[in-house]
């Protein structure tokens, strides 16, 4: 996509947690309509990068936001719910997002319909199953109409049926024009959903390619040996 579609850009960004360099001189541009899958081994920096993009961590370098009015939402791997009903968790989220009072009830109803949780609206949110809880987190995110949605391993602990339901929701969000950035260890999921794949290794972005090019591994598409080893499941630990 052209640069005038850019929503957010990182330039030469590093993140340090005490003695640990979590990200190393990262450069990344997030464009309108992207669905980016962040992949890499545990500890490669995927979650830190998501938090950085969302503005949650201190950093060195430059983070440019080109559309200050664009709403950003992040769904964490283990979503936190208040000790309230399903529908009231949505009402609180809409209140925090400063959605006018007159719109909150209808938006909550629409969001529950969208994720198939209407029948559970009055159930305590913390009594939901793992798949239902993740769908409620997505409903809460969708209800505030974000332009950018960040997701940290959204299906990591779900059974195949619940995983399929969540993937269908994410695909529908993308089809509506929402921009998504998702970390995942599921390479099949990245291949099914993403338009771009960003491979991280030891805090650095080593590959950033359209999904079909990344997985086709056409000669010359990428010269990164560690990305190839990761795809083959042969990447070994490197201690510094």
Q: How far apart are CA 95 and CA 104, in angstroms?
A: 8
pTM: 0.90
Q: 48-98 pLDDT, tens per residue? A: 999 999 999 999 999 999 988 789 999 998 889 999 999 999 999 999 999
Non-local (6+) Cβ contacts of 146 within 8 A are 70, 71, 72, 73, 178
In this predicted structure, the answer to whether residue 151 has a pLDDT above a threshold of 60 is yes
In this structure, are residues 117 and 135 in contact, taking their beta carbons and an 8 Å threshold?
Answer: yes
Bridge partners (DSSP) listed for residue 20: 17
């Amino acid at each position: 996509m052209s640069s005038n579609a850019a929503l957010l850009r990182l330039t030469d960004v590093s993140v340090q947690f005490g003695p640990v360099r979590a990200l190393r001189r990262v450069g990344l541009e997030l464009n309108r309509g992207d669905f980016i899958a962040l992949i890499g081994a545990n500890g490669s920096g995927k979650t830190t990068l998501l938090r950085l993009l969302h503005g949650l961590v201190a950093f060195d370098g430059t983070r440019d936001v080109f559309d200050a009015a664009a709403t950003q939402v992040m769904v964490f791997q283990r979503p936190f719910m208040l000790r309230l009903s399903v529908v009231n968790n949505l009402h609180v989220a809409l209140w925090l997002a400063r959605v006018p009072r007159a719109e909150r009830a209808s938006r909550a109803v629409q969001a529950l319909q969208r994720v198939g949780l209407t029948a559970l609206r009055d159930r305590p949110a913390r009594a939901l199953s793992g798949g239902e809880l993740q769908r409620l987190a997505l409903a809460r995110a969708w209800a505030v109409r974000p332009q950018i949605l960040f997701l940290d391993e959204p299906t990591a602990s779900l059974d195949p049926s619940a995983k399929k339901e969540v993937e269908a929701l994410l695909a529908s969000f993308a089809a509506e024009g929402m921009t998504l950035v998702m970390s995942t260890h599921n390479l099949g999921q990245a291949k099914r959903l993403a338009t771009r794949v960003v491979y991280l290794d030891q805090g650095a972005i080593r590959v950033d390619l359209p999904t079909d090019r990344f997985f086709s591994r056409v000669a010359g598409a990428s010269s990164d040996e560690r990305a190839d080893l990761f795809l083959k499941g042969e990447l070994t630990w490197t201690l510094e």
